Amino acid sequence: AQSVTQLGSHVSVSEGALVLLRCNYSSSVPPYLFWYVQYPNQGLQLLLKYTTGATLVKGINGFEAEFKKSETSFHLTKPSAHMSDAAEYFCAVSDRGGGADGLTFGKGTHLIIQP
């Protein structure tokens, strides 16, 4: 069975500061890893994904994440926060070749941007 732990249900950063959202996973096989963003009362939008290859993955809106197998982590970062980054962020893992039937989501982290 696979699982995802997102540390911190709420994270607050100042505008212009570094954003770090933590995600740890467990999986019995090499995982596929995803970060999604959700704005209020909207669906989820894919930010980035790791399948194979380069462990540092770049996504939309200046976000990136690094797959660290030894730490079973896939933390999301952005060098400089913008007010428009305020949203809910979900980490997800799949070990069945992808597709939503194999996706397990974390509980989400609400990112708050302070002016």
Least distance between other proteins and beta carbon 83 (Å): 22
> Considering the rule CB under 8 A, would residue 107 count as an interface residue with other proteins?
yes
Among 27, 49, 64, 66, binds other proteins (CB under 8 A): 49
Supply the DSSP string of 17-62, one letter for each residue: S-EEEEEEEE-SSPPEEEEEEE-TTS-EEEEEEE-SS-SEEE-GGG
* Total of chain residues touching other proteins, rule CB under 8 A: 24
- How many CB atoms neighbour CB 67 within 10 A? 22
Residue 7 contacts other proteins per CB under 8 A: no
Asked whether position 53 contacts other proteins by CB under 8 A, the answer is no
Residues paired with 11 in a beta bridge: 111
Contacts to other proteins from residues 13-32, by CB under 8 A: 32
Site string for other proteins, 69-98 (x = CB under 8 A): ---------------------x---x--xx
Kindly state the tokens that stand for 57.
Answer: 């993955």
Shortest spacing between CB 7 and other proteins, in angstroms? 14
Give the pairing type, strands 19-26 and 3-7.
Answer: antiparallel
